Amino acid sequence: MNHPEANSAMDAAQLKADIVLLIDLITEHSRKVELVTHEDLQDEFLSKAPLQQPIPVSQIKAEYEAIPEMERKLRNKADDSPEEKERRRLISRRQMFGSLFSGELSLADLKEEPAEAESAPREITPEYFETVLAEVLKGQYGIEDLTSWDSKHYYHFSPLLSASYARLLSTQNNPYEQILDTVRESSRVYPRPVGVFTFEFAPFRIDPTVIQDVLDRIAEDPNAKDIRVTVTSAGTVYLYSSTYLEDAMADFLAEEMDQGEAQML
């Protein structure tokens, strides 16, 4: 006879395992430097979750305790190196285990529950996917979502793929939105203007004629009235958003940045 308490505990363990699965799916896309859409993520989860079993407590504890030594060996590497990205992933994963499985890990004398016979594949519905996704986004697991210019919903793992780079990826097939978004983001976050020449180089690599077309379009777009131009004493053109940067400050920063660029040549 199944007791309600046992069923409830099993349901909780299964949900936690499904949360880990969903986080791993998103992380794998970010490892490849790509975003995953809501639709694709749902399809992947519906495909893999039916066979996902609750994670054994011994496995949870073993991985949790092994991570610090693995992380230590990867320290002191360049920020954009594969080793540093893996180190950030490990740190985030340990934090996830500590948060998600705090009850299991806090037991002083951890005892493994008796193994159960492998169950048949579960029926996973889109509604259940939404439940798991909501839990993932609610927790501190490094998973972030964004809505792109064309209203598509994307997800990424921030320790491997930053929010700013994720936004860049979400606009990669639309140079107009890519430039608008980059300028606004730079003015809001740093804050600083962006040299028009920047868009000719990596990671943008936009053709100069396309950049000029974008500038012409911005001048005519009523939805881009916050995007303004400042020209330095050397004649370099910078863009900024008046929503986040005042004109005088943008002029000053552009001049300072232009002098810095000249000194590097």
- Digit-coded pLDDT (tens) for 131-184: 999 999 999 899 999 999 889 999 999 999 999 899 999 998 899 999 999 999
Rounded distance, CA 124 to CA 262, Å?
59
- Cβ contacts of 122 within 8 Å, gap of 6 or more: 49, 50, 52
Listing DSSP states for 39-106 in one string gives HHHHHHHHHHGGG--PPPHHHHHHHHHHHHHHHHTT-S--TTSHHHHHHHHHHHHHHHHHHHTHHHHT
Mean pLDDT estimate for the chain: 90
* CB neighbour list of residue 220: distance below 8 Å, 6 or more residues apart: none
Across the range 225-245, mean pLDDT stands at 97
At residue 2, does pLDDT exceed 90?
Answer: no
Residue 5: pLDDT over 90: no
| Residue 142 backbone class (left: φ over 0; alpha: ψ -120 to 50; beta: rest) | left
What pLDDT score was predicted for residue 109? 47
Task: Examine the pLDDT at 3 and tell me if it is beyond 60.
Answer: no
pLDDT the model gives residue 107: 55
Omega of the bond prior to 126 within 30 degrees of 0, cis?
A: no
- Residue 42: what pLDDT? 99
The pTM assigned to this predicted structure is 0.80
What is the pLDDT at residue 209? Answer: 97
Are 39 and 3 spatial neighbours (Cβ–Cβ below 8 Å)?
no
Q: Parse the chain into domains and list their residue ranges.
A: 4-164, 171-264
Residue 262 predicted with pLDDT over 60: no
Residue 151 backbone zone (phi > 0: left; psi -120 to 50: alpha; other: beta): left
pLDDT in tens, 82-125: 999 999 999 999 999 999 998 777 754 445 555 555 678 899 99
What confidence category does residue 21 fall into, taking pLDDT thresholds of 50, 70 and 90?
very high
Residue 10 has a pLDDT of: 74
Which CATH topology does 171-264 take? Arc Repressor Mutant, subunit A (1.10.10)
* pLDDT at site 115: 53
